[in-house]
């Protein structure tokens, strides 16, 4: 799997590539990452990569020509050609919000070319001709696409075999099919009592069935209170058992208070 990243600031990715568990994916080559700076493919003494927008207004717009030259260099390096060319992904407010299902799809792919825009945006003519997918992290705006690209790389890397210490640990993350797309349950560790609060008795029982039931109920409780749409989605897909439904009926109708 190979990701080629078009960015004006490749240095921003250094901590991601060299820190934490996911660095194993990059060091082992399970996820190959190469960086391409459009400025290296720009013309003229100053190697400009942006210019003022037609029609006036604030900010600058990334030029199409340096991006195209950069993309051509990537295509030559990868040696791919239609119909097997790696798709070009742009991080943009117009994109589909990144979720677990999308991450799982990308984690099983051959990779992509990730375009990290800057300034007011990218010349629309380049987008129309060369961008295949648009991805968003949510309804807010970042200074550039680098953070979104890092989020995708990290999420994809941790799903690669051999990256996590426990191969099965990611299968029980929030939103995973093993949890029917619900939120994960809360977790506890030593000491058994901390600041007067004890670990739930079920987790100390040693009874695997009781522990599994407690974790399922907590997953249902958290999802119902904090992300009720996940409960609705699981219900529509027939993933909730009669026991699940009976437990949910005992839960008070509470809503999560948004952060002020």
What positions carry a catalytic annotation? 93, 120, 158, 173
* 92-96-98 Cα angle (round to 5): 95
Strands 133-136 and 88-97 turn out to be parallel
Give CA–CA dist 89/79, Å, rounded. 18
Give CA–CA dist 252/247, Å, rounded. 11
Give φ, ψ of 138 to 5 degrees: 155, -175
SS3 of residue 134 by DSSP:
strand
Assigned token pair, 17: 């590539």
Give CA–CA dist 217/222, Å, rounded. 9
Is 28:1 a contact under the CB 8 Å cutoff?
no
């Amino acid at each position: 799997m190979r990701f080629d990243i078009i960015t004006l600031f490749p240095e921003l990715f250094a901590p991601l590539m060299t820190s934490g568990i996911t660095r194993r994916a990059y060091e082992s080559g399970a996820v190959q990452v190469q960086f391409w700076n459009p400025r290296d493919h720009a013309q003229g003494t100053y190697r400009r990569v942006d210019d003022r927008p037609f029609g006036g207004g604030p900010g600058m717009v990334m030029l199409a020509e340096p991006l195209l030259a950069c993309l051509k260099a990537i295509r030559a390096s990868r040696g791919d050609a239609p119909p097997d060319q790696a798709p070009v992904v742009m991080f943009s407010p117009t994109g589909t919000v990144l979720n677990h299902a999308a991450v799982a799809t990308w984690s099983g792919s051959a990779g992509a070319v990730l375009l990290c825009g800057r300034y007011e945006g990218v010349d629309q003519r380049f987008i129309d001709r060369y961008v295949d997918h648009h991805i968003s992290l949510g309804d807010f705006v970042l200074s550039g696409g680098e953070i979104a690209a890092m989020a995708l790389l990290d999420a994809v890397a941790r799903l690669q075999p051999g990256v996590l210490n426990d191969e099965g640990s990611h299968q029980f993350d929030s939103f995973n099919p093993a949890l029917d797309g619900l939120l994960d349950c809360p977790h506890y560790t030593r000491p058994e009592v901390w600041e007067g609060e004890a670990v739930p008795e079920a987790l100390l029982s040693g009874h695997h069935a009781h522990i599994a039931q407690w974790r399922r109920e907590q997953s249902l409780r958290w999802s119902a209170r904090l992300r009720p749409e996940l409960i609705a989605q699981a219900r529509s897909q027939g993933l909730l058992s009669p026991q699940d439904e009976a437990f949910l009926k005992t839960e008070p109708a509470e809503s999560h208070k948004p952060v002020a």
